[in-house]
């Protein structure tokens, strides 16, 4: 589910929040746990959206039966209502239980969004040539990629639902698409039931936060040393946090190569900071990295997989 880059972004958001609100470490740890939990809830919500489309399709068919001038809706029976993937989601005990336990009724009072997406599906030209001999799963994949994922109203709705969901949207859609593609191959619904790939990934997030916080003053002075022409308050907060996080990985995460850390934070800066930030961060971090290496303060042993566990404090 959550990959390392996404975990880094989550920690960046928490550090930014800590700087603004001066929250305690315990409060931020709870925030970290809550945001990762919300991420999984988002995944289930987006997966369950297929069921909402199915129910809207059924409703439209019933409404159409009562009309004197009928429109053609029946072509969606095979594509949506009888779709094995959607039926598997609807019949999944795990999804049903998780959906109910976490009260994931985001669309309870927003049925118009479901209807708007349905209307786009109904009017999609690529569905007009569908026949009962076609693969409904492949059409559903196309519906997801070309209609659901790109719908601006749906994206805006999710953006308003929870803090961070706008940032989560691309990864969530990738995860849902992977479930879809897997189903098309094995004809079985396989859902990742854990937020993190493994225990190391979960510890990675918390240790990255904790070590960055614990060394904040030291890293602040280190960055100032390499930016003598800049007052500390002139460096963008996001840039400052990204550099501190990267230095944390340089010094304390022995199983992550320095080039991996450097490239990750440069790429994150392109999405979350100013247009010139990536070049600025790259120049400063490269100089810091070289000097820390010369001083013997960067020690990497990528063959060991248990180093991350030793960071827990």
Interval 87-145: pLDDT, tens: 999 999 999 999 999 999 999 988 999 999 999 999 999 998 887 777 899 999 999 99
Q: What's the confidence (pLDDT) of residue 31?
A: 80
CA distances from 213 to 210, 219, 220 (A): 5, 10, 11
Give 171's Cβ-side CA count (13 Å radius). Answer: 19
Mean pLDDT, range 207-212, rounded to an integer: 92
> Above 50 in pLDDT, residue 159?
yes
Q: How far apart are CA 190 and CA 91, in angstroms?
A: 13
pLDDT band at residue 259 under the 50/70/90 scheme: very high
Mean pLDDT, range 180-203, rounded to an integer: 91
Q: What's the confidence (pLDDT) of residue 310?
A: 41
Mean pLDDT, range 151-171, rounded to an integer: 92
Q: What's the confidence (pLDDT) of residue 242?
A: 96
**Backbone φ/ψ region at 20: left (φ over 0), alpha (ψ -120 to 50), beta:** alpha
Structure tokens at 74: 């029946």
Least confident of 18-32, 118-132, 264-278: 18-32
Question: Other CB atoms closer than 10 Å to residue 154's CB: what's the count?
Answer: 22
Q: What's the confidence (pLDDT) of residue 7?
A: 92
Helix (H) or strand (E) holding 113: helix 111-123
> Taking the domains of the chain in order of start, what are their residue ranges?
4-186, 199-311
Q: How far apart are CA 44 and CA 96, in angstroms?
A: 10
Q: What's the confidence (pLDDT) of residue 308?
A: 38
Q: What's the confidence (pLDDT) of residue 232?
A: 58
> Above 90 in pLDDT, residue 281?
yes
> Above 50 in pLDDT, residue 311?
no
Q: What's the confidence (pLDDT) of residue 198?
A: 86
* Superfamily of 199-311 according to CATH: NusB-like (1.10.940.10)
pTM of the model: 0.81
pLDDT band at residue 179 under the 50/70/90 scheme: very high
Q: What's the confidence (pLDDT) of residue 83?
A: 95
36 within 8 A of 2, measured Cβ to Cβ: yes
Q: What's the confidence (pLDDT) of residue 92?
A: 96
> Above 50 in pLDDT, residue 79?
yes
């Amino acid at each position: 589910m959550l990959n390392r880059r996404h975990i880094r972004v989550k920690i960046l958001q928490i550090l930014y929040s800590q700087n603004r609100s001066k929250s305690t470490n315990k409060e931020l740890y709870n925030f970290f746990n809550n945001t990762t939990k919300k991420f999984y809830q988002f995944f289930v919500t987006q997966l369950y959206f297929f069921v909402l489309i199915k129910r809207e399709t059924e409703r439209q068919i019933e409404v159409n039966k009562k009309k004197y001038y009928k429109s053609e809706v029946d072509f969606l029976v095979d594509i949506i209502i009888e779709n094995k993937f959607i039926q598997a989601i609807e019949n999944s005990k795990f999804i049903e239980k998780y959906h109910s336990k976490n009260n994931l009724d985001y669309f309870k009072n927003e049925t118009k969004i479901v209807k708007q997406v349905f209307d786009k599906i109904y009017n999609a030209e690529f569905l007009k040539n569908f026949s009962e001999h076609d693969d409904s799963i492949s059409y559903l994949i196309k519906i997801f990629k070309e209609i659901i994922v790109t719908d601006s109203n749906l994206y805006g709705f999710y953006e308003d639902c929870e803090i961070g969901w706008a940032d989560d949207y691309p990864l969530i859609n990738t995860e849902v698409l992977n479930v879809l593609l897997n189903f098309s191959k094995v004809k079985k619904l396989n859902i990742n039931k854990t937020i993190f790939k493994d225990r190391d990934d979960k510890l990675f997030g918390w240790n990255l936060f904790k070590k960055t916080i614990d060394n904040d003053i030291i890293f602040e002075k280190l960055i100032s040393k390499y930016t003598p022409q800049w007052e500390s308050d002139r460096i963008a907060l996001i840039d400052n946090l990204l550099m501190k996080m990267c230095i944390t990985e340089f010094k304390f995460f022995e199983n992550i190569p320095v080039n991996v850390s450097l490239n990750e934070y440069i790429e994150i800066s392109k999405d979350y900071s100013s247009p010139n930030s990536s070049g600025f961060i790259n120049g400063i971090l490269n100089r810091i990295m070289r000097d820390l290496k010369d001083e013997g303060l960067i020690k990497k042993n990528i063959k060991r997989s248990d180093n991350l566990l030793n960071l827990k404090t």
